Amino acid sequence: MKPADKVTVPSLRARKGVGPKIAMVTAYDATLARLLDEGGADILLIGDSLGMVVQGHGNTLAVTVDDICYHGRAVARAARRAHLVGDMPFMSFQVSPEKALENAGAMLKHGGFEAVKLEGGLVVAEHVHRIVQAGIPVMGHVGLLPQSVHAMGGFRVQGKGEDAAASVLADAKALEQAGAYSIVLEGLPAPVAQRITEAVGIPTIGIGAGPHCDGQVLVCYDFLGMYRDVQPKFVKRYAELGDLVIDATRRYVGEVQAGTFPGVAHSFGMGKAHSTGEPTGAKPVVASEPPAYGPTED
């Protein structure tokens, strides 16, 4: 990959208003990250949604900085082109700007991230400012805030009504002012997301916020049809991998029970007695060479 192809904070900012629109997806492991990266996703977000789709909780509150870093390292080993963002989990930044900076720094040191994302607007503007001042890019997140699920009374669309819309707009402007390089707009009426997108000079990335944002984000297990407990209106399934997994597992189970797997094609012969053994053919997911990017001349 040419250095110029690597997605970076400046290259994302340069797409504001001119496109192409930014396509972000979540990723949690090396195998899927490699495929999502090859598919052209611009940003891989190691989201605290992993608390729900990977760990099986009903919300994101149990996720820790260590959890996010563990999954971040796996994704960072596999990704080549995509920009890598780590989600700051519940209580890793809310307590104080100092605590937020400490944890953001730890996430870049130990998680392989190139930026962090955190939820909230005006009330975390100072936190964002401190992190940005330390040279750590911050993606904001306003509208529906999953870490405030109990305060919101569930996962509910925000910004309905003039006062609520004005308040989300003020949040977005405060984040821009604090130095955020982009903002996730979650669970907002499309006209409100459009108004915010037109009012700020940094890219907006929508989820359940209509078509007018500068980019979109979906949870990978949602758009691949693997997380099927709920299907929110804003999710479009681009594949039904859940059905494929169930069908493949049924066929595997059937063949194991019938004794038809493994057959000759999937079994090893004896070979020579002194042989060190033939290679199994197993390959690592992650290529041994490091990502082919680095400082550029411009």
Residues of this chain that bind ligand KIV (CB under 6 A): 26, 45, 47-49, 87, 184, 186, 207, 217, 219
Closer of 236 and 250 to ligand KIV (Cβ):
236
Closer of 241 and 293 to ligand KIV (Cβ):
241
Instruction: Report d(CA 141, CA 241) in Å as an integer.
Output: 29
Closer of 102 and 119 to ligand KIV (Cβ):
119
Closer of 41 and 45 to ligand KIV (Cβ):
45
Closer of 125 and 227 to ligand KIV (Cβ):
227
Return the closest-CA partner of residue 142 out of 161, 113, 164, 114. 164
Among positive and negative, which fits the CA dihedral 154, 156, 160, 163? positive
Instruction: Report d(CA 252, CA 189) in Å as an integer.
Output: 45
From the CB of 138, what's the least distance to ligand KIV, in Å? 14
From the CB of 48, what's the least distance to ligand KIV, in Å? 5
Place of tokens 């977005």: 172
Cis peptide bond prior to 290, omega within 30° of 0: no
220-227: long-range contacts, CB 8 A cutoff, minimum separation 24:
220/25, 220/26, 220/27, 220/28, 220/32, 220/36, 221/26, 221/53, 222/53, 223/25, 226/53, 227/52, 227/53
From the CB of 213, what's the least distance to ligand KIV, in Å? 12
In the complex, which residue's CB is closest to ligand KIV? 47
Return the closest-CA partner of residue 118 out of 15, 187, 70, 47. 47
Q: Are 231 and 221 in contact (CB under 8 A)?
A: no
Catalytic residue among 98, 162, 186, 289: 186
Pull the structure tokens for residue 104: 């953001």
From the CB of 106, what's the least distance to ligand KIV, in Å? 18
Instruction: Report d(CA 241, CA 257) in Å as an integer.
Output: 24
From the CB of 238, what's the least distance to ligand KIV, in Å? 16
Catalytic residue list contains 126: no
Pull the structure tokens for residue 177: 């002012």
Q: Which residues are catalytic?
A: 186
